[in-house]
Structures are given as structure tokens and as C-alpha cells.
Homo-oligomer: A and B are copies of this chain.
Amino acid sequence: MKKDANINDLLGNLGDMMSLLTEAQRLSLSKVATLHKFRKNELIYAAGAHPESLYCLVSGKVKICREGVGARTQIVRVIRSIEYFGYRPAFAGEDFLMSAIAFEPSMIVCFPIDIVMAMAKENPLLAWFFVERLATDLGQADERTVTLTQKHIRGRLADALLFLKDHYGLEEDGYTLSIYLSREDLANMSNMTTANAIRTLSAFASERIVAVDGRKIKLLDEARLSKISRMG
């Protein structure tokens, strides 16, 4: 984790949340904000740690994951820029349940979470900013539980691919997912073994639903994917 100096250039771009603050709050937050760089696969925070910061991903991509039974990892959420994360445990009065790891080189601004919490308890718009995000995430978490427990392997992988498209988008060609994941990460998103992620992705490729070139995945037939996601 490398600390950097030119942070004030960035604070203006942390948009949605910053605009909810009073001038005084914005100023006092900017004084305690710190900028950090993470390399690919670098740990940002670890499950079990005590939360100290509110994180804002400025550039790059981040996964939030949980070690489950017998070292089986689950990717629970993924973060894109510009998105805030890492605040839930502090708000619930808990330590981190999840770890955050950079998918790719990432720049992150950190704010002391106790300061943010104190501000939220005085600034209803800031508090409501988090209400909306938590409410949305909770809905997604519940949906995800149903998906992961009730759909079959093909449906779960189809869901993961569509989710990645929705979240990180496509490249200029309009087909290629703009995030390149290992088969293992794909498996950890879809709650299956790596071997099954490989097999199922190959099956999709041979059915011309996707095209695979290493870690590049082209979604050739989103309608089929949606159907697989819904059906089985």
C-alpha cells in the first residue's frame, strides 16, 4: 500500500457523497483523507480486522470476499469506480466479516470512519446516502442467496456473467466483458468449484453463447444467458 500526495485533485471527483456535505464538513474531511495505491491481488483489508476507514475506489476494481467453510472463498460483492465501500461493519458495530482485495491496480481514498459516522449523525442527507446504498445492497444480497442456493450450475454461471456485464460493462466492441477474471474467481462468484466453472464456461463456448480467449470473455448471446439464468 503506497501513500500518495496529490489527493486534493481527486476529492472534487468523489461526487455524489461530497456534494451532500456542508462546506465545513467537506473541508474537514479533505484534511484527513488519504490516498492509497494497491497492486493487483493486494489485500486492502482483512476479515477480522477492526474497521478504521471509509473507502472510496477512485480507479481500478475491487472484490469483497469471505472465507467460508474449508477455505472455500466466496466473492460477495464487487466494487467499481467511483464507489464507496467498507463502511458496513463500522455502522453495525462489528469487525470486518469480509476481506477486500484489488482485482487490478487500484487507487483508493480513505476517510476516518469515526469522523464520517459523526458527520452522518448530524447530517441527514449523508446518513440517507448510506441508507439508500445499504438498502440496495441488502436486496441484492437476499436475491443472491436465492440464486446461489436454488439455481443449477449453468444458471449460476450465467448470472455471474450477466452481473459482471451490468457492473463493469463491456469493451468498445460491445461484447467483451471489461473485466478479466480467473476461472477460480468466476467459480467463487458462482459458488462452484474451479473445475466446474471451467467445464461450464467451455460448454457455453461450444454452444456459441460466449466466446473465450484466455481470460477475455465475449457475451455472444445475452438472451440465451438470461434464459439459462431464469430456467435452470
Contact = CB atoms under 8 A, between A and B. Distances in A.
A144 to B, nearest CB: 6
Contacts of A40: none
A207 interface: no
B120 A122 contact: no
Contacts of A88: 135, 138-139
Nearest to A91: B135
A155 B70 CA distance: 13
A231 to B, nearest CB: 9
Nearest to A69: B150
Contact of A72 (B66, B126, B150): B150
Contacts of A134: 131, 134-135, 138
Interface stretch (A5-13, A52-60, A92-100): A92-100
Contacts of A176: none
A97 B125 CA distance: 26
Interface in A118-148: 120-128, 130-132, 134-139, 141-146, 148
A74 interface: yes
A142 B91 contact: no
A83 B73 CA distance: 33
Contacts of A66: 142, 146
Interface string A153-168: 0010000000000000
Contacts of A98: 142
Contacts of A69: 146, 150-151, 155, 232
Contacts of A18: none
A117 to B, nearest CB: 8
A180 to B, nearest CB: 25
Nearest to A74: B146
Contacts of A143: 97
Contacts of A155: 69
A184 to B, nearest CB: 16
14 contacts: A68-B149, A68-B150, A69-B146, A69-B150, A70-B150, A74-B145, A74-B146, A76-B145, A89-B135, A92-B135, A120-B128, A121-B128, A127-B128, A141-B142
